[in-house]
Structures are given as structure tokens and as C-alpha cells.
Amino acid sequence: MERIYFDNAATTSLDPAVLEAMLPYMTEKFGNPSSIYSYGRESRLGIENARKSVAKILNAHPGEIFFTSGGTEASNTAINAAIRDLGCKHIISSPIEHHATLHTVEHLHHEGVKLSYVKLLPNGHVDLENLRELLAGSKERSLVTLMHANNEIGNLLDIHAVGTLCKEFDAIFHSDTVQTVGHYPFDLRNTPVHFITGAGHKFHGPKGVGMLYINENVRITPFIQGGSQERNMRAGTENLYGIIGFAKALEMATAQHEEHSKHINDVRMYMAEQLQQHIPGVDFNGDLKGRSLYTVLNVSFPKTEKTEMILFNMDINGICASGGSACTSGANAGSHVIQAINNNPNQIAVRFSFSKQNTKEEVDKVIAKLKEII
């Protein structure tokens, strides 16, 4: 059976050119980067060249880029460091963050750190006026942790506006940019943010590798204790071929950004049109035609006996999509994001998310199947 993969916000396929760049570091260039002999020096050079490449693309200094096991570790490191090392005693976040952020701030709240959630506008965007009120009313230094693009509904945060607000109130700003690194250009030297995160598998790189940007004016201590890897910031032998793959995937995504982003958005908007034409009663969650991630389409179907089984029925027809955040897609607890912005018991939400490999022909096939299923 032909499979149609419309869950690229969960993970993307590894690009063959990325695998090709990784292979030498999985075979002959296998040295431990901490070793001083030639094998180790070769590996170390590969990592440092990858760091320089990532820094150049993000317009950061190489010394501000740290490689991690993924977005979750990167966000955990930043949020914990803001409390432990940077004097933040109040966290301001939103109820629609990824669980890597939500569970971290809830854990710190249980340990006595004050936690506030910023209000959301009806379209799911953060209410910046309410953010200003929370910052102005805080007697202690605040950490603001807000994601750049929501992984379920695709809403994009005005990262510069939030960063400027944080600067005004001497707050630390961490943004989970896992859905946008590799999908949008960054200029970190001119962006008022202290920490951002990335994950290789969101832009056709390998799983199990990510990055944390730490602004050069910020001094923090390691989250993981052990050896002196990553300039004493992240202990543990480096994921050598993962780091090589991360940099290669980011280079390719950046070089092809204009062409691929237009293609992906065309596929997404075509699917939105086709759904409206052929499936009665569909609606969209988030700010579809406004500030929105070009890879994500979150659809609400009217709740019926047939749509309650929609994900299962799509799966048996070879269509891969998600009912919420894919990191917990095995658990049928519903989506905390949809509950926060559109808690309508008469609707079933499905996230379709697209990559450079998807086509309008695939959309047509999915629409035809949905007509049969529903």
C-alpha cells in the first residue's frame, strides 16, 4: 500500500545527502573527539566545523552554539539555568507550550518557583499586553519561556516584540524554536533572546541531536554533570555523526529555504481549500491566514461516530497524521493545545504537517479517502 506521510512536524525523513555526510563519521572517522591523537583530532575538527557552520547560518558566534541530544534537553538546560544561575524567581509561560517546556516549568513550580501563564487571544496567539502586565507586576526577576512556532496549530510568535519587552523589564527570554530552526532565517546577533533551541530531525536531519544557543552575555553552569565536553557545558561523549548530520541538514535547509517554503505552503493551503470544498463543517485551528508556520495545518472535523475513529481509519488507509503532539501520540489524552484554544466537545482536531517531499497529488488522494471515511 502507498503510504502518505503528513506528520512532518513530528519528524522528517533523513535526507540522503545528510546520510552521505554522516557515513564517514560512522565508519572510518570514528575517533573520540576528546582524544589527542589523529583519530580524535579528525573528529574534533568535524564537530568544530559543524559548530561554525550552524553559527554562521544563525548569525551567532560559534562559542554560543552547544550541541545537545535534542530540543527537550536544550529547553531543560535553559529553563533550569535561568532559575539556578540567573536569579529568576518567576516563570512566565503559556498553556500551549510543548511538554518539554510545560513539564519543566511545572516541576520547578512544585519546587517553589512562582509560575504565571500568559493569556491567549481567541486565535491562539499570545496576548502581548497581558505579558507586559505580568512582567510589570513581577517583584522578582522573570524568565519568559514562549515557543516561536506552536507545533500543533502553527501560530508564530513575534520573537522580537517579546524579546524587546523582556529587555525592558530585565527578564531572561528562552524561546523553543524547534519548529522554526531549519525552516526560517535567524539573525541572533540582532534578536533580543538569551536561549533558543533546535532539533535535527525537524528539517531532514538525524534524530537524537539538537542545539542550544546561549547568548554570549549569559553565564550558566552545566545541566548534565561529567566530563569537559562542549566547553564544559554538556558532559558526555559527543554524538559525532549526529552533529555532522545536523549541520549538513541545516546548510541544505537554508540554501533551499525560499523554494521549499513556497512549495510547502502551496501544498498546505491547497489542502485547506480542498477540505473546505469537499468535507462539510471543517474548520481550522490557529491563525491559518495570518502569522503561521507554513508546514502545519490543524483541522477540526465535526464530531460523529465516523470522525471519532478518523486517525485509526486514516492509518489503515496508509495516511500518517497526528491528533495532537506526536511526542505523546500513543496516549489518547487529547491535545492540551486544542483544549486551551478551542475546547469544543463537538469537534475532532487532526494535525497535518508537510515537507518538501509532499505534493498536491498526495493531498487529492487524502481528500478522496477522507470523503470515503467520513
- The CATH code of the domain that includes 289 is 3.90.1150.10
Last residue of a domain, one of 255, 282, 305: 255
User: What is the radius of gyration, based on Cα positions, of the chain?
Assistant: 21
C-alpha cell at 347: 469537534
- Domain boundary residue among 255, 283, 313? 255
- Both 360 and 214 in one domain: the answer is no
Question: CA 229, 234, 238 angle in degrees (round to 5)?
Answer: 55
Domain encompassing residue 52: 16-255
Looking at the structure, tell me whether residues 237 and 313 fall in a common domain: no
For 99-116, write each residue's pLDDT tens digit: 999 999 999 999 999 999
268 lies in the same domain as 245: no
What is the C-alpha separation between 303 and 349, in angstroms, rounded?
9
143/269 same-domain check: no
What pLDDT score does 132 carry? 98
Number of structural domains in the chain: 2
Looking at residue 331, its pLDDT comes to 41
The Cα 374–Cα 307 span in angstroms is 6
Q: Are 197 and 210 in contact (CB under 8 A)?
A: yes
What is the pLDDT, as a whole number, of residue 325?
A: 47
DSSP secondary structure letter of residue 190: G
Nine-digit cell string for 254 = 537554508
Residue where a domain stops, chosen among 239, 255, 271: 255
Query: Do 270 and 247 share a domain, yes or no?
Result: no
Q: What is the pLDDT of residue 342?
A: 84
Domain identity same for 8 and 71: no
- Quick one: DSSP state of residue 217? T
State residue 324's pLDDT score: 57
Residues 251 and 261 in one domain: no
Per-residue model confidence (pLDDT) at position 334: 78
Q: Write down the pLDDT at residue 333.
A: 60
Residues involved in catalysis: 327
Cell numbers representing residue 2 in the block: 502507498
Average pLDDT for runs of 10 along the chain of length 374: 95 98 97 96 98 98 98 98 98 98 98 98 96 97 98 98 98 98 98 98 98 98 96 97 98 98 98 97 95 97 92 96 61 79 90 98 98 92
pLDDT at position 344:
87
- How many Cα atoms are found within 13 Å in the side-chain-facing hemisphere of 93? 27
Cβ proximity of 288 and 150 under 8 Å: no
Instruction: Please enumerate in sequence order all residues whose Cβ is within 8 A of that of 88, keeping only pairs 6 or more positions apart, or say none.
Output: 82, 113, 140, 141, 142, 143, 171, 172
Asked whether residue 294 falls in the same domain as residue 219, the answer is no
